[in-house]
Structures are given as C-alpha cells and as structure tokens.
Amino acid sequence: MSTSASQQVEIHDIPEAAAEPQVQRHNFLIMALYQISLRCGWIFKTESIVMPAFLDALGVSAWVRGFLPLFNRFGQSVPPMLLASTVAGTKQKKSIVMSTMLLFSVSFFAIGFLWNLYAQESWMPALFLLIYALFFMVVGVHNLAARSVQGKLIRANRRGRLMLAGNVGGAITSVALAYFLFPKWLPADGPHDFFGMFAFAAVMFMVSAFIALLVIEPADPRTKPTQRISKAIQDAKLTFQQDARFRRIALVGALTNTSIMLFPHYQPIAKEYLHLSLDNLMPWVIAQNLGMAAFSLVLGPIADLKGNRAVIRLLLIVMIATPLLALFLIHQPWGGKVYWIVFVLVGMTPFSIGILFNYTLELTEASNHPRYLATLGLVVAIPAALSPLVSYSMDFFGSPTPLFSAVAILLVIAWLLTFRLPEPRYGETLPQK
C-alpha cells in the first residue's frame, strides 16, 4: 500500500528521557546482553528439539506432545491479558522482567531435580506438564514486560538491530555452549543427564535476571491495576474495535502461529521415519540457532530500513517451506543426512513472533503497548489451543502428512494477507471508506 493512498499518522516512538544518546547506547548494549544470556539458557530447552526428546524419554505419545504448544501459547496469552494493566501501571517494568526470570530459574531447577529422582514414576509426565504450564504462564508475563521495556527504551528504527545483535550474539555463544555440553549430558550411549542440562539453563536464566536490572528505565506514573477478567476482555475488545490495522495483523499473526503446532513433532518424526538417535540433537540445535542468526543478519536491517511488514512477508515464505521439506525428507533414504536443514528453517517461527510484536508496537503510543501486546498474544494463541487435538491426527492417521500439509496451506493464506497490511513505520493507514 502506498502512502499516497493512505492518511499520514503519528509514528509512535520512545519517551524523551530515554532518548539521550548515551542512554540509548547503554540500554541497547544491556538489552543485547540480556537477550544473549537468555538464549544461552533457552537453547537447552528448545521447544522443537530438547523438550520433545525429554517427553520421549518419559515415554509419551504424540497427542501428549501436543500440550507443549498449547501451554506455550496459552501461557503467553491469557496471563498477559489479565495482568496487562498491572504491567502498564508498574513504575519500572524491568522489575517484572527480573522477577519472572528468577521464576524461570526455579521452574527448571525443579524439573531437573524431579527427573533425577522420579524419572521412572508413572505420574512424572503429568507433574512435568503441570510445572511446564505454570512456567509458560510466567513466560507470558515476562514477555509482555520485556517487550514493553523494549518499546519504551529502544527507537523503532533500532529494534531490528537489537534483534540482530541479540540473535547473532546469542547464537554464537549458545552454539559454543551446546557444542561442548550436549555430548556430555545427552551422549549417544549411556544415561541422559537432563538434570545437568536443565540446571545449567536455570543458572543462565538467573544471570539474565540480574542483567535486566541494569537498563536505565525512566519511571512511569503508577496506576492502580484492574485485574478483573471482565476488564481484560473489555480492553481486548476495545483494541479490536478501535484499530483496523490491529485487526489485520492479529489475523495474520493467528494464521502464522499455526506453525507452532508442529514444533513438538519435527524431532520425533525424524526419529521414527529416519531412525535417528539422540546424538543428532546437538547438530540440530546448532543448526536451528545458527540459522536464526543468519536470517537475522538479513532480516534485522530490512526491518529497520523497510519496516516489519516486509520481514513478515519474507519469513512466511520460509515457514511455508518448512513442513513441506520435512515431509519430503522423511520419505527419502538419504533424508537423515540433510534433515538438519529443517531445523535451520524451524528457527524462523520464534523469530516471526518477535517481528509480529515489533509491528504491533508501532501501531500505538507506549502507554497502550501492554494492552496491544496482550491482545495480540491472546489472538495468536488460538491455534495452539487446538494443538493436542490436531496432534492426535498423527496417531489417528498414522502419518504426519495431513497435519503438516494443512498448516502449510494456512501459512500460504497468512502470506497472501500480508499484502493487505499497512506499514506503520511510514505512517500508512487503511484507505478511508
């Protein structure tokens, strides 16, 4: 859509107190270090590789794995929606980032200890899923606060560079750690030490928590939070009613996020069809993280120069190819040798979520960011709510083809809809009716 065909509007940026050059440099560096340290913990609990392998070690079936994306998106949608007013009313949101990161650490210490003591118990999968559901509720509140801090402190035309710095720096550091530590904890032969892996992740989350405190964040006026469910629903409804641009990005986001339903299945289908073992986890994790870094080198600058709409469009092309490539490779006798390419492409799904939220940050002023982000998080969680049911289709049909093909079709629809999105970076709105 050209700007000549649309009305010019204000481009929302950061508060004046955060715009001083030395403050910008400091906050950019700290937030990059925060993202890097977070990646160094997250690589040891990746949703597409490590956690499905952990559930396989507990002996669960495909429909149980389907709860992973459900917990992921539910936790990152409903709790943020309910607590958006609390986050918005907090004077310094970095305190929420720190406290939630410490809860990340507690969660993975707990999972590690339980594995060490009760791995063979029949109730262990249920207890793990309960802790993991609570963990992602904390993740949702953390992400809402962290994105609000980013929207408050980092200029719109520097957020792509921050994503680039965090992804590339995080990939290099986390891949080096994975290269040396994965063989130690998940050897091809011998017992699997998930305790050591999860304990290390917990330590890195603790490091991230204290790095987050170092940002220079101007205090916001404290407001009284409204935590009633009815008020949260009213805020979400208001966001939809008032902003047609938001309605469009919400639809694109919901369709894009159908790809997360496939996350728990890429690793198990390779194990089933290609007879690959756990010693492939390390190269797959490395491939996924290096792939994300490589795409960041290209897409981060594009986001800063051209806006996030262009990046969403490019990402969807890659995401469409991912399930189709996986289906092709699992039926080739040589597919196991190049299956790592699938995980290079899988890394684009979490990257796409960040770009969707960055796009949303530019639709409104900073005071509305928690409400907009929470509402978008709720919408993109809708496909994940169906994840256990659609994952059962793999057990029912005895094949991943129906599910993977259906997701690819929905991603094509999302890509087509990006041509109806305005670009807020340049003040584009929808044509007046």
| Domain residue ranges of the chain, discontinuous segments joined by + | 3-217+228-426
User: How far apart, in whole angstroms, are the C-alpha atoms of residue 224 and residue 84?
Assistant: 12
User: How far apart, in whole angstroms, are the C-alpha atoms of residue 282 and residue 269?
Assistant: 17
CA distances, 212 to each of 80, 100, 293, 366 (Å): 19, 11, 22, 19
User: How far apart, in whole angstroms, are the C-alpha atoms of residue 351 and residue 361?
Assistant: 16
Bigger pLDDT: 227 vs 393: 393
User: How far apart, in whole angstroms, are the C-alpha atoms of residue 259 and residue 413?
Assistant: 13
User: How far apart, in whole angstroms, are the C-alpha atoms of residue 338 and residue 345?
Assistant: 12
- Let me know: does 296 contact 332? Beta carbons within 8 Å: no
User: How far apart, in whole angstroms, are the C-alpha atoms of residue 53 and residue 402?
Assistant: 23
Mean pLDDT on 64-84: 83
Confidence band (pLDDT; 50, 70, 90) for 228? low
Residue 3, pLDDT score: 42
Residue 18, pLDDT score: 67
Confidence band (pLDDT; 50, 70, 90) for 14? low
Confidence band (pLDDT; 50, 70, 90) for 4? very low
Express each pLDDT in 349-366 by its tens digit: 877 888 998 899 888 887
Which residue type is seen at 332?
Q
- Please check the confidence at residue 8 and state whether its pLDDT lies above 60: no
Percent of the residues in the chain that have a pLDDT greater than 70, as a whole number: 93
Residue 142 has which token pair? 């953390």
Q: Pinpoint the alpha helices (H) of 119-260.
A: 124-153, 159-185, 194-212, 229-242, 244-256
Q: Can you give the pTM of this predicted structure?
A: 0.75
Residue 226, pLDDT score: 64
CA distances, 232 to each of 8, 90, 235, 413 (Å): 30, 17, 5, 30
User: How far apart, in whole angstroms, are the C-alpha atoms of residue 145 and residue 80?
Assistant: 9
- Please check the confidence at residue 189 and state whether its pLDDT lies above 80: no
Write down the residue that tokens 């050897």 correspond to: 187
Phi first, then psi, for residue 424 (nearest 5°) are: -65, -20
CATH T-level topology, domain 3-217+228-426: Growth Hormone; Chain: A; (1.20.1250)
Residue 342, pLDDT score: 95
Residue 13, pLDDT score: 61
* Average pLDDT value for the chain: 86
Residue 361, pLDDT score: 87
Phi first, then psi, for residue 215 (nearest 5°) are: -70, 150
Residue 271, pLDDT score: 87
Residue 430, pLDDT score: 63
Express each pLDDT in 90-111 by its tens digit: 888 899 999 999 999 999 999 9
DSSP label at 8?
-
Residue 61, pLDDT score: 75
Confidence band (pLDDT; 50, 70, 90) for 1? very low
- Please check the confidence at residue 415 and state whether its pLDDT lies above 90: yes
User: How far apart, in whole angstroms, are the C-alpha atoms of residue 210 and residue 295?
Assistant: 29
One DSSP character per residue, 240-296 reads HHH-HHHHHHHHHHHHHGGGGGGGGGHHHHHHHHH---GGGHHHHHHHHHHHHHHHH
Express each pLDDT in 109-131 by its tens digit: 999 999 999 988 989 999 999 99
Mean pLDDT on 172-199: 88
Bigger pLDDT: 320 vs 294: 320
Closest CA relative to residue 381, chosen from 69, 38, 37, 40: 69
Express each pLDDT in 31-55 by its tens digit: 999 999 999 999 999 887 888 889 8
Confidence band (pLDDT; 50, 70, 90) for 12? low
Mean pLDDT on 211-223: 85
User: How far apart, in whole angstroms, are the C-alpha atoms of residue 59 and residue 377?
Assistant: 31
